[in-house]
Amino acid sequence: MHELSYVVRFADRAIAIAEHQQAGSVQKLVVQVGEMTDVLPEYLQKYYPEVAAGTILEGSVLETEPLPAKVKCNQCGSEYHPEKENNYLCPACGSPSGKVLEGREVILKEVIVDAI
């Protein structure tokens, strides 16, 4: 249920952006969801209309985009997408040790507004 808190934060930020731009309305929010998070995009979309109701966001769309994981191997420095079929090992050297560079984030990427 932590998706609701993400939606509230994104809505607050989008409202602030729309007000700053003196927008007439908001058309769409685009949110990137890292594949290594436990955030479910379908729940973000489920809660969004309720949070948007009665605000400048009402009637807008919440679009989600996947944010793939990217790991940098601690052994050889290669950057790669970890794959279950490979036991998440570095495909270049086979090392099990790496640092996650991307994929743990949930990011408000874009707020599309209509001018007054």
Q: What is the pLDDT of residues 63-99, one digit of tens each?
A: 999 999 999 999 999 999 999 999 999 999 999 999 9
Q: In this structure, what DSSP letter does residue 81 have?
A: -
- CA-nearest of 32, 29, 30, 17 to 58 is 29
Beta bridge partners of 62: 29
Quick one: pLDDT at residue 115?
A: 74
In the chain, the number of structural domains is 1
| pLDDT tens-digit map of 3-62 | 999 999 999 999 999 999 999 899 999 999 999 999 999 999 999 999 999 999 999 999
* CATH number of 104's domain: 3.30.2320.80
* pTM of this prediction exceeds 0.95: no
The pLDDT of residue 24: 87
Residue 1 is predicted with a pLDDT of 61
pLDDT at 2: 86
Q: Are 78 and 91 in contact (CB under 8 A)?
A: yes
Task: Write out the two tokens for 22.
Answer: 């003196």
Boundaries of domain holding 28 = 2-115
